[in-house]
Structure 1
């Protein structure tokens, strides 16, 4: 068209292999020595290190030019071998080894990603997915790659929040399954299961931001009539210009996953209603132990298709049923506030679940289950400091403890069983480090 286009090519430079690529091969295995090697590698932008069959990843907190399609092809050609003479440790190598093992053994495999909040688990999950999708073919590859991008967009705005160490910290556990055709290990579909959504994040508070979708809605121009602009923490709201672009991307992704224009409008209205519901305030009135809504305008806007009087009654009245009779009792403002929060969080959790169902419909494969094997990726939120620990944090910590115990069992006892099967030698099982008595006791109670 007569215009000049300047193209900048960034050369991918992988670090050369080094003796410290696998820490288990070091002559001296001490805590100080291991930390020294990891720190030295981190200073050289070598963020990946093997520890036997485990890949240790350190978040560089910057962009590294080591995730291009060219790098992915290099590890695919090397078949993920750790002993490849010219390729250093990489998440692509682990993904490629999983592909080779799944094709050879014809049995499911799972990646378990664990670490503190902000350590890069979700990013590692996306890099694994990136490499696995190179094994899709033709139009199917383009469709799957596009669909997963739209799913990631939805998960980011509906299930992640920023914190002090991470701009996108997951607030739910996710198990992603990639379906690989048995005959040639080509990816033909996917399936996503989510657990333990931190629904309390709906309630924005000082030091705890809410989900980005609410920030997008609250800062978008034209929503002042819903009184959303000044109802939340302004520091959590994006700029109006960024919100327009971000909300447009969300709508595009929703449409790509199969949501109709009418359903998309209903979804956004529901989200606005949930957000406004969290802003309704109550005040105690006479007689004692009763309350009423002190912000009737917000109540009217949040009610949507429900009569506002019915919503107020549901939030301020306790109903007890006994032998066919109903007893009504008005509650105080503190109880009404708790019920308001529970309703908002429950509505959001159900909405999130519907979006996951929508994603699975877009990712589904029509092939018979006998025709494919599975590579799974389990991504669990890392431990982070919060002002108030609640039931959600307890469940996340218990899950982290159990996964850690499972990893140790596979690392030690799994190896022992392999030796017994190969050499026919009976071995005494090693005692696993750590104490699982406390998590086990809590699990028996709950």
Structure 2
């Protein structure tokens, strides 16, 4: 634990991480917060096997001798769930490519292992395999959701382009998983139609082109991928075989009983729509209007996937219409024109391209929502019902226990590119909100509690980004409010928006202006870096109109799968949150394809979804994992101190180390403290524990002195601040808490072994039940 370093400086923190990284110790503890340095190599056999899981599951109360690990955090969360009866959550953050998704998967793997181990006896006793199937289903959901929600970016070959909050419903006393639900936030829909040079679209679009069977090949062309959007030689991801990955995706779909036939057609439509291009032609009045180009994008450089070649005997729009199950002429008409008051108004080429892109984004987003809903349905169907070990052994039904949750948040990290637009602003806003949540949980709440309890710890300094957040999300004058207001106006445009931002926020917290790009950009000084945002496209991206003509057409499609995706268009208008740059589950979208009543734009929906997410986190005891990239080249055994230190500063880890060294890891109400550790005094004939019921501060001091007399704690614990007595709570540094917990567990183990022998000898069923209840708590 870096809190215990004799000297806390940037140099010692960095040196500690460097030494551990070189020893393949990629995890380091900082006062209960885990730093995970991406090794860029597989360490499966060394640190992630079942042997390691067993070791963490059977560790003592203080986890003595156990190295920092996601398994340790997961086990600690399970024990806290039982001890405190409070839901838990993990907030896993870091830059793209730092290992957030992998860390999340290891936590899920451990929770599944623990649940499966608890159910082994009940499955044998009742022949109920649902519990085992639930744990397997949780792990099977990973390749499916990664295929549909992850993509190759400049920083990461498997970057999550959406936020995932997984809620694992657990029986506190046993750690058994009873239910799992996954909520999606902020799917990056814009990736479907545009990406940076060298990046790829979503994995599934390439997997189904290379790995699909002949039936899928009949719809998705299989000519390979000649070049990406930037004109590079290949769109292949490093060390990734799309065909092999598709086999894993398809196997998971099959095992979770998710039908893939409809998916093939819908995804084919997304791909081929990208190959449709438009030319400007003159109509009868010599006006310029759009027409479908004679040569589609396969001959011009490659569409949404950047592919050339293919079946050039058929036009892309013919294949797209067939995949969508609609008439080719009607599809063309819906792209080339719109209806205003019953009159057909032709679009220009750029307008037709925008309508096509908006529909393709909406189609993929709804496919993603459908897949996620089916995954959740599969997890619900696998809900475990097996009896507990205690029920199996005693034959007695136990009272129903309230389920609590362990949540895992995996969301994309801070972004700063050569060209930054609304998408990057929203991503970075999400990271600012998570930093605020971190500050609130780690610094502000602790400071308020210490002050209220009269426990002196000194000032806990931290980076306060509340001013910047107000600049972004202020209800009246925030940048997002200004953006939404500009979208409401018929003549709203980017130039007016930029003028309003500069006028109001040129001197606001976090604002930063660059004179060289005045009139085109505005700057924001984020906690991680200064970012310049290009204003061009902000208003249209926030509106992101969904073409009503196309949606109405596909809602009557002969392809039932596609028609079902757009079954709500009768309730919806032509613009709204589902056409947004980001969307995901209905919870994030706000429902529907965007109703005229709500006029929900991208930024507003985005902010609402984040508020709901942080609200969920606030209802839990949060644990934090900070993932770190050791270098920018994804190279193993390469530790770049400048790169690492920059990330540590951005995460506020150096402030945290100092604050954790002064703060307290554990806290309990007075009565809970005496009740929990009173067991240590049971053999002391000269101590009357009844005297410590409803203990006040004075009685707590006397109780602690008794613990010191009996050698359970050091006499100097009170004087050196290891233990502090507040007005209503007792505060403990991690070392003191570990000593007491270890002593308590040793005493309980001795008691339960003695009771088990007596109950077995007397054949007393009630005594046996009581003993097994204690054994459950001690993980015997």
1:251 paired residue number = 250
Distance 1:207 1:36, change over 3 A: same
Helix, strand or coil at the partner of 1:57:
strand
CA contact 2:157–2:237 (8 Å) conserved in 1: no
Q: Among residues 410, 427, 438, which one is paired with 1:379 in the alignment?
A: 410
Q: Among residues 59, 65, 89, which one is paired with 1:78 in the alignment?
A: 59
Please give the alpha-carbon distance, in whole angstroms, between the structure 2 residues aligned to 1:204 and 1:218: 19
Distance 1:50 1:348, change over 3 A: same
1:300 paired to 2:281: no
Helix, strand or coil at the partner of 1:371:
coil
Helix, strand or coil at the partner of 1:190:
strand
Q: Among residues 463, 481, 485, which one is paired with 1:433 in the alignment?
A: 463
CA contact 2:154–2:199 (8 Å) conserved in 1: no
1:285 paired residue number = 281
Alignment of 1:261-410 (within 5 A): 264-287=260-283, 288-294=287-293, 295=296, 297-304=315-322, 305-320=325-340, 325-364=341-380, 365=383, 371-386=402-417, 388-410=419-441
Please give the alpha-carbon distance, in whole angstroms, between the structure 1 residues aligned to 2:177 and 2:39: 30
Distance 1:191 1:156, change over 3 A: same
Distance 1:38 1:226, change over 3 A: closer
Report the TM-score when normalising by structure 1.
0.85
Deviations 1:400-445 (A, max 9, x none): 1111111112111232344356x45599985642433222222234
1:167 paired residue number = 157
CA RMSD of aligned residues (A): 2.7
Please give the alpha-carbon distance, in whole angstroms, between the structure 2 residues aligned to 1:316 and 1:230: 30
1:212 paired to 2:203: yes
Please give the alpha-carbon distance, in whole angstroms, between the structure 2 residues aligned to 1:45 and 1:200: 38
CA contact 1:114–1:379 (8 Å) conserved in 2: yes
Please give the alpha-carbon distance, in whole angstroms, between the structure 2 residues aligned to 1:289 and 1:387: 34
Report the TM-score when normalising by structure 2.
0.50
Helix, strand or coil at the partner of 1:392:
helix
2:111 paired residue number = 132
Residue 78 of structure 1: how far off its partner (Å): 1.3
Please give the alpha-carbon distance, in whole angstroms, between the structure 2 residues aligned to 1:247 and 1:410: 41
Q: Which runs of 5+ in 2 are unaligned?
A: 121-128, 229-233, 297-313, 386-398, 481-780
Helix, strand or coil at the partner of 1:236:
coil
2:193 paired residue number = 203
Residue 378 of structure 1: how far off its partner (Å): 0.7
CA contact 2:167–2:408 (8 Å) conserved in 1: yes
Distance 1:209 1:387, change over 3 A: farther
Please give the alpha-carbon distance, in whole angstroms, between the structure 2 residues aligned to 1:172 and 1:330: 36
Distance 1:149 1:219, change over 3 A: same
Distance 1:230 1:61, change over 3 A: closer
Residue 350 of structure 1: how far off its partner (Å): 0.7
CA contact 1:413–1:429 (8 Å) conserved in 2: no
CA contact 2:152–2:158 (8 Å) conserved in 1: yes
Distance 1:375 1:401, change over 3 A: same
Please give the alpha-carbon distance, in whole angstroms, between the structure 2 residues aligned to 1:86 and 1:399: 37
Q: Among residues 93, 97, 100, which one is paired with 1:118 in the alignment?
A: 97
Distance 1:210 1:433, change over 3 A: same
Q: Which runs of 5+ in 1 are unaligned?
A: 1-21
CA contact 2:108–2:139 (8 Å) conserved in 1: no
Alignment of 1:177-256 (within 5 A): 177-203=167-193, 205=195, 206-220=197-211, 223=217, 227=221, 229=223, 233=227, 235-237=234-236, 242-256=241-255
Residue 366 of structure 1: how far off its partner (Å): 7.7
CA contact 1:133–1:145 (8 Å) conserved in 2: yes
Residue 386 of structure 1: how far off its partner (Å): 4.3
Residue 27 of structure 1: how far off its partner (Å): 2.2
Please give the alpha-carbon distance, in whole angstroms, between the structure 2 residues aligned to 1:48 and 1:248: 32
Distance 1:117 1:245, change over 3 A: closer
Residue 204 of structure 1: how far off its partner (Å): 5.8
Distance 1:410 1:443, change over 3 A: same
Helix, strand or coil at the partner of 1:103:
helix
Helix, strand or coil at the partner of 1:102:
helix
Helix, strand or coil at the partner of 2:251:
helix
